[in-house]
A and B are shown apart, each in its own frame.
Chain A
Amino acid sequence: MSEQGHEHPNETHPAASSEQDRLTVSRRWLLLKIGIAMNAVVGVAITIPVLKYLFSAIKPDAEYKSWVSLGPIASFPVGETRLAKFTNPVRHSWDGETDGVACWVRRVAEQEFQVFAINCAHLGCPVRWFPQSQLFMCPCHGGAYYADGSRASGPPERGLFAYDARIVGGALQIKAGQMPTLSNTAKLERPKFVQIDGAHTDEAKGDSPCRG
C-alpha cells in the first residue's frame, strides 16, 4: 500500500486530502488494534505452555515420595538412635552430593522403629542426637527434642518430622523423597501433656516423667 499523502507532504493539497487523511489514520489505528489483538492471542497461546513449564516442579507429595531402604535392621541396635544415610529417590546426575539425605533411626524395640528427619521442625537445620542427654539438639536456633522426637524446648512448635517406616525382608524402609517442612509433613499435633507447674501453660513440652 502506498502512502503518498505522507511521503510527499508538500505536493498534496491540504483541502482535498484531509478527508482521505482521516480515513487513512483511522484505518491505521484499526490495523494497530488488530495487530495488538493478534499479539494478545498469540501471547496467551504461548504463555500457557510457558507457565506449565515454569510450574512443573509443583507436584503432589505422593509423586515425589517412594519407599527407600536404609539397610538391614541388624545395623540398628535396639534402644539406640543412629544416623542413616540414603540417596534421594528423585535425583539427577548433576545433583552432586546434594542428593544424599540423612535421617535418625531409633530402634525402640525388636520390630519397632522411629525414623526422624534430620531437618529441625523449626527451620530445617540438621539436628544432632546426643545419647548422653538423650536429646536432639539443633545448632541454628536452639531447638531441642526428646528421644521420641517430641518437642523439648526452643522455637520449634512441634516434634521432629517422622518418616513412615516398614520392615521388608529384614530391611528397614522409609517413605522418603522430599525435604520435610511444615507444609508437607504431618500437621502440627499437640502432644497430650500434663503440666504440673502451673506457671507454664506452653504446649508441646513433651513427655514428663510425672505424666499420668
Chain B
Amino acid sequence: MSRMKQIYSWLDARLQLGKPLMEMGEHPIPNRTASWWYVFGSAAFTLLMLQIVTGILLALVYVPSAGEAWNSLNFLNHQLTLGWFLRAMHGWGSNFMVAVVLIHMAQVFLFGAYKYPRELTWTLGVFLLLMTLGMAFTGQVMRFDQDAYWGLGIGASILSRVPWVGGSLVHMMLGGPIIAGATLSRFFTLHVFVIPGMMLAFTFLHVWMVLKLGINEWPMPGRVVRRSTYMAEYHELTAKDGRPFVPGGVWKDAVFSAAILAAVAVCAVVFGPFGPGGQPDPTIIQTAPKPDFFFLWLYSVLSYLPPSMETPFLLIAPVLGIAALLGLPFYASEGEKSWHRRPIAILALTTIAVSWGVLTHLGTYTPWSPHMDAWSGGPAIPARYLQTASPLEREGAVVFQAKQCRNCHSIGGYGGERGPALDDIATRMTEDQLIRQVLQGGGNMPAYGKNLSPAEVTALVRFLQTLHPANEPSAADAAQAATQAGH
C-alpha cells in the first residue's frame, strides 16, 4: 500500500496531473443533470476510442493500395483469426458512433445546452459531427469494393458541379484523372491521419469546455438564460443542489458506455462485417451502387431533385445547413432552454427527423430505379389479364413484356415502381392519350416512338386498354363520342 503511494507521489511530483484531475472529478454538477439523458456525449467519446483502437488493429493488416485493398479485406474476413470480428467491430462501431453523435446533438439542441456560455462547445461539436460523417464516408472508401468505387464517382460528380474550380477539385479529390491508386491513398491519409488527428484535438477542447464551464443544467420553463446573470445562477444552483461529477454523474456514463460497447460487440458477432462487396473493377457494370446507411437519405434526395435544381441545391444547401448549425448558438444565445417553451425548435427537430427517416426508408428500396430484370426475371403477366384477350391484345402483352415496359411499370403486382402500376391504366387514360404517352413519353417517361413500329404501338395500346376492373368501364374521350354520335 505504502509502496503504491510512493510510486504515485513519485509520478505525480513529475507529472503534476493529480491536482487538476482531482478538481475536475470533484467539480459540482446539478443534481438533476446526473441523468440518463446526459450519457450520449461520453458514449460518443468511448466509441471514438473504440474506432481508434480497432482502426489501428485493422491497419496492421490492411493494404491501402487500389490493387490489393480488396484482397486484404477478404483475407481479414476469411483467413486471419478473428479478422472478421475486428472488421465487424470497426464497421458497427462506425454506425453506432454516427447514431450516438446525432442523438447527442439532438439532445443538446432540445435541452438548449448550446446557449451562453457554451456556444463554442456547440460550434466545435458541429465540426466534430462533420468529421464523424467525414470518417464514415472515407471509411466506406477504405472498404474498396464496387460501392466504394462508384461512391467516389458520385462524390467526384458532385464536386465537378462547383463553378470554375470544379474540375480542379475533382483532380484534387481523385489524385489524378480517374478513380485509381492515388485516390485510395489519399482517402487512406484522410481516414487515418488527417481527420482523426483533428478529431482528437477538437474532442479534447470540446470535453475541456464541458468540464470547465460545467455541464448544462436541466432546463426548466421560465429559467431564462441571461448573459449578465447566468454564471452566478449556475454556480448557485450547483452549490445548493449539486453533487460532485465523480462519482455522482459519471457512473451513468460508465454504465452506458459499457452497454454501448457490448451492443457494438453483439452486432459485430451476430451480423458480421460489412462487405467488401464486388471487386472494384470499373468495367463490371452489372452493379447497383448504394451508399452506407447514414448517406441513404442523401441518395434519395439526389434522385428526387428536379434536374434544374440539382446543382444549386447540392452546392448551396450544405453551406446553408452548416451555417445554420454554426450560427444557432450566436442567434439564440440567451432565452428559454426548456422544450416546453421552444415550439419552433421541437418542430424543426421533428421535421428533420421525419424527413430523414422517410428519405432513408426510400433509399433502402429505391423506387425511382428501374428494376433492370423485371422484364425477364419475374412472373409473367397474370393469365386473368389475357383470358378474354384478342390475338392483337395478346400481341400487345408480348410487346409490353419484350420492350421492358415492366422495368418501370408493375402489372399484376410485379415490376418496377418508377412509373405508375398499370393494372387499371385503362380507367385513367383514353386510347389517344395512351398512344401519345407511348410515342412521346413525358412526365418522366422516355418516348418510345422510335423504338416501336406502328403495329407494335397499336397492339400495345390495345392491350393497355383492356387493363381495367371488370365492373369499371375504360376511359373514353367524351368529345370523340359526341362527334361520332353526331355523324
Contacts and interface: CB of A to CB of B under 8 A. Distances in A.
B65 A96 contact: yes
A127 to B, nearest CB: 8
Interface in A15-55: 55
Given A125-B289, A126-B285, A155-B303, A135 B446 contact: yes
A182 to B, nearest CB: 5
A79 interface: no
A155 B446 contact: no
B171 A57 contact: yes
Interface in B53-97: 65-70
B169 to A, nearest CB: 8
Contacts of B407: 130, 133, 137
B170 A144 contact: no
A208 interface: yes
Contacts of A199: 442
Nearest to B64: A94
A202 B299 CA distance: 23
Contacts of B486: none
B182 A92 contact: yes
Contacts of B223: none
Interface residues of A, number: 70
B172 interface: yes
Interface in B223-252: none
Contact of A102 (B150, B160, B180, B282): B282
Contact of B172 (A58, A142, A208): A58
Given A58-B172, A96-B280, A183-B167, A102 B285 contact: yes
A51 B35 CA distance: 49
Nearest to A139: B288
A109 B439 CA distance: 25
A208 B178 contact: no
B167 A95 contact: no
A179 B179 contact: yes
Interface in A90-148: 90-102, 118-119, 122-128, 130, 132-135, 137-142, 144, 146-147
A152 interface: yes
Nearest to A59: B171
B2 interface: no
B184 to A, nearest CB: 8
A14 B303 CA distance: 78
Given A142-B370, A157-B308, A57 B180 contact: no
B443 interface: yes
B168 A144 contact: no
Contacts of A156: 307
B67 A97 contact: yes
B166 A183 contact: yes
A9 interface: no
Given A133-B451, A177-B177, A200-B442, A124 B66 contact: no
Contacts of B341: none
B305 interface: yes
B241 to A, nearest CB: 48
Contacts of B299: 140-141
Contact of A85 (B150, B283, B369, B402): B283
Interface string B290-328: 000000000100110111101100000000000000000
Given A98-B181, A123-B157, A209 B372 contact: no
Contacts of A90: 176-178
A74 interface: no
A142 B368 contact: yes
A83 B311 CA distance: 30
Contact of B67 (A96, A125, A141, A153): A96
B440 A154 contact: no
A48 B441 CA distance: 56
A57 B172 contact: yes
Given A140-B369, A210-B449, A196 B66 contact: no
Which residue of B174, B181, B286 has the most chain A CB atoms within 10 A of its CB atom?
A: B181
Contacts of B182: 57, 92
Contacts of A93: 67
A95 to B, nearest CB: 4
Contacts of A91: 180
Interface in A165-212: 177-179, 181-184, 196-197, 199-200, 202, 204-210
Interface of B: 65-70, 149-150, 153-154, 156-162, 166-168, 170-172, 174-183, 279-283, 285-289, 299, 302-303, 305-308, 310-311, 366, 368-370, 372, 375, 402-405, 407, 418, 436, 439-451
